[in-house]
Each structure stands twice: as structure tokens, then as C-alpha cells.
Structure 1
Amino acid sequence: MPDAAHRYRSADEDSARWQDFPRRPGDIVISTRSKSGTTWMQMICAVLVLRTPELPAPLTGLSPWLDWLAEPVEQVYARLAAQSHRRFIKTHTPLDGVPDDPRVHYLVVARHPLDMALSLHHQSANLDRARLAELTGQPVTPTGSRHRPSVEQSLVRWIEADPDPREELDSLPGVMWHLRDAWARRDRPNVHLVHYDDLRADLAGQMRRIAALLELEPPRPDLVEAATFEQMRSRADQLAPDAGGVLKDRRAFFRAGRSGQGSALLDEANRNRYRARAATLAPPDLLAWLHRDR
């Protein structure tokens, strides 16, 4: 793997699938952590590239998750090879795990880590784990009547956990690993960082910015409307990332999408604990951009 520094693997992902993927000039790679705006950015790219609010196919077909082991890699390659428009491809792999190609644009979306962790907590209850295991060829892990922690307990445990960031990318160390790597590349002309809160605050302005970065036409009002969180939630059957049927409720995937909820659920001591931990994992300039001094 000469053009990628690291291979990221989990029970349902393998970044090695990127190595033999035939890239094209202008390809768009959307690299995010889970529940950080991945599907939102896919939809933004879809309407900017295709110039229509009515997509010709489900979003997962137009913008496949290349690393996901639930679909044979040959099928993913074939679907992308058949596309004649500019391709926009999903990955949860950090940029040091995908080929570094100056002809390709890399979009990295960041979200406040506590909001991401809150969404992960709710998403966990919406997954059909037996179906996921079936698709990826993994053994089914029985859950029994295991006690599910409260949201607050889950957030505190997430703050305190200290796994290898390259082994558990959705941990706090893993989130910061992903973003720190992208932050170090942010001056490259083909690496673009987008903040989830900016999408919430000014979607039209952010879509104009993204279009300019990708050398696409600016969005019409109907394209911006199609990419609003509310419109996407109303079209969950077409837009939710559920090609394999692993979600119990597609509409619940678009649960709320608000910012600041994760921090609001913690008391002052645990908010301070989070801040102190984050300060050990990322540089001050990245944290100032990421946290927005909330």
C-alpha cells in the first residue's frame, strides 16, 4: 500500500478497498466520523453535481460507502465505473488511510464531538445488529437483557475511554485523530474542512462555498431547500444510509440534528472534564474551530 499510510479495519469496514479503486480527476471523497454530517454532505454534493432536487436513485446508490464490507467490492467498483457524472463517495476513513491524489477533492465534515457522541448513542439503539452481522459475515453477538446506560452515563464513559484511536475511530481519541490529520492538510487546495454548525447556521452560504471549492455551479434555492435537514428527514426512505436494511427506523436516522445538546446534558464538572481531555488530543487552533467556544 505505497500511497496510503495506514489500513483501517473493523468488523464492517476495510480501508484497503480504496487501494485498487480506479480514481478519476474531479472525484469527491467525503471523509467523516460517524454521525457528523456524512449523509448531509452526500446530499449537498448530490444536488450540486446533478442539479436536481429529485435524485434519480437512492442516495446510497449514487454515493456508495466504499469501505463497507456489506457489499462486495466488485459491485461497488462497477456501480461507480458506470457513473458518468462527477462521483462523490462516502468514507469514514481518515485521510491518511485513503490514496492521496491531487486530482481528487477531499471534503471532511466536523461536528462538536459531544453532539456526535449523543447521536451515536441514539443510533446504536436503531441498528439491527443481527442483520448487520449477516451482511458482513460476522457472528451475531447476543445482547440479552443487558442494561443500556443513560445518555449522560454514555457521554461520561465516552469522554473517559482511552482506546487506540486507530482501532476505535468513533471514540473521542479517534475523532480527534481523524480531525487532527485533516487539519494538518487544510492548506492543500484539494482538502476542504466543513463544520456541521456552519451548515446549520447558513446552509445556502455553505453550499455556495462548497460549490466554489469543487468548481461547480452555485445552488439554486430549490437545491438548497432539498438539502435542508427537515426535507431530508421527510425523504428518509430514499436518503437514509440503509442499503442493506440495517436500520430499524430510517426516519429515526434523522433524529434531530441540533447542535449543543451533548454539552447541555452534562453538568459543569463533566463539561470541564471533556475540555481537559480534548486539550490533550488536539491543538488549540483546531479545538477553537471545532468547539466554537460554546
Structure 2
Amino acid sequence: YWSHLSNVQSWWNFRHLSNIQLFHYSDMLADTEREVRRIAAFLEIDVPEQAWDGIIKAISFKEMKRQGELYAPGGGQFWKGGAETFMHKGTNNRWRDVLSDDELALYDAACSRALTPDCREWLENGGTV
């Protein structure tokens, strides 16, 4: 897990460069259209205004869950319960309710070793970078 945190930190360190843009899942949930428009702008994709409603509907969690086999890695075969399990609820921070106090302490220690405080804050909560 520590190596994954170090990877996030390495991207965080270069977030100021014009060819790097970070996006967070919780921000996508909070305002999908805003974030997808931000992605399109970053990639310099000109999307016709009349296409936005269809795009936002197509990438909604509800629609993606309905077609989970298309979106889950390996069609969901790696998870007990398949794509339904992979796509579960579409919420963030569910892991906090699953881990024990000892596991949470290990997570905290790994974060302290691998992440700067501002990177950790963004990784756990999202927000404008």
C-alpha cells in the first residue's frame, strides 16, 4: 500500500505543471458535469453543448452500475458477486467502516511516511487542486 501512496505523492509533486491535472472521485460525485467539463477543457475537447446531457447521463453511477460488466476490470470476474460488487454503492470512504483500529493505525502510519499533509488531505477528501 505504501508504494501506491508514494505514487500519488509523486503526481502531487508535479500538479503545478500545465500537462498534469488531478481529478478526485469525490469531486466527480459532488458535481459530475463540472468535473467532466474540466476534463474536456484540459484535454482541449470541444463538446457541443447539446451533447452534455447525454454524456452526463451515460457516465452516471446508476448507468455505469447498470452496465457494470463493461466497466469493472475483467468484467467483474475478480470480485465475489461480480461487477455488482465492484460497482457497489459509488460512495467514498467506506473503507473506514471496514478496517479495524489496528488497520487504521497502519494506514495512518503509511500515510505519514509517504504523503505530505496537503497531498493526504486531497487524497482523502478531494477538492480543487
TM-score tier by shorter-chain length is 0.7 to 0.9
What per-residue deviation string (whole Å, max 9, x for no partner) do you get for residues 145-203 of structure 1? xxxxxxxxxxxxxxxxxxxxxxxxxx2x1211210111112111111111111111111
Rg larger for: 1
1:1-294 map, 5 Å: 171=1, 173-218=2-47, 220-242=52-74, 246-247=77-78, 249-266=82-99, 270-292=103-125
Partners of 1:253 and 1:276 in 2: how far apart? 27
Q: For 1:195-216, what per-residue CA distance to the aligned partner results, in whole angstroms no more than 9, with x for missing partners?
A: 1111111111110111111111
Unaligned runs of 5+ in 1: 1-170
Instruction: Provide the C-alpha distance between the structure 2 equivalents of 1:270 and 1:237, rounded to a whole number of angstroms.
Output: 31
Shift in CA distance, 271/184, structure 1 to aligned 2, threshold 3 Å: same
Distance (whole Å) between structure 2 residues aligned to residue 278 and residue 224 of structure 1: 34
Code of the residue aligned with 1:225 in structure 2: it is K
Q: TM-score, normalised by structure 2?
A: 0.77
Structure 1 distance, partners of 2:90, 2:108, is 22
Flag structure 2 segments of 5+ consecutive residues without an equivalent: none
Do the aligned residues in 1 keep the contact of 2:77 with 2:83 (CA within 8 Å)?
no
Counterpart of 1:193 in 2: which secondary structure?
A: coil
Structure 2: which amino acid aligns with 1:277?
A
Letter in 2 for 1:212: A
Q: Which aligned segments of 4 or more residues in structure 1 are displaced greater than 4 angstroms?
A: 245-248, 267-270
Paired letter, 1:286: C
CA separation of 1:184/1:251 partners in 2, compared to 1, >3 Å: closer, same or farther?
Answer: same
Q: Percent identity?
A: 26
More helix by share: 2
CA distance in structure 2 between the aligned counterparts of 1:239 and 1:182, rounded to whole angstroms: 24
Aligned in 2, Cα 1:263/1:221: closer, same or farther, shift over 3 Å?
A: same
**What is the TM-score with the length of structure 1 in the denominator?**
0.37
C-alpha separation between the residues in 2 aligned to 1:204 and 1:278?
Answer: 31
TM-superposition CA deviations, 1:213-269 (whole Å, max 9, x none) = 1111246111011001110111123333337x9547334332222112111234556
3-state SS of the aligned residue for 1:275?
Answer: helix
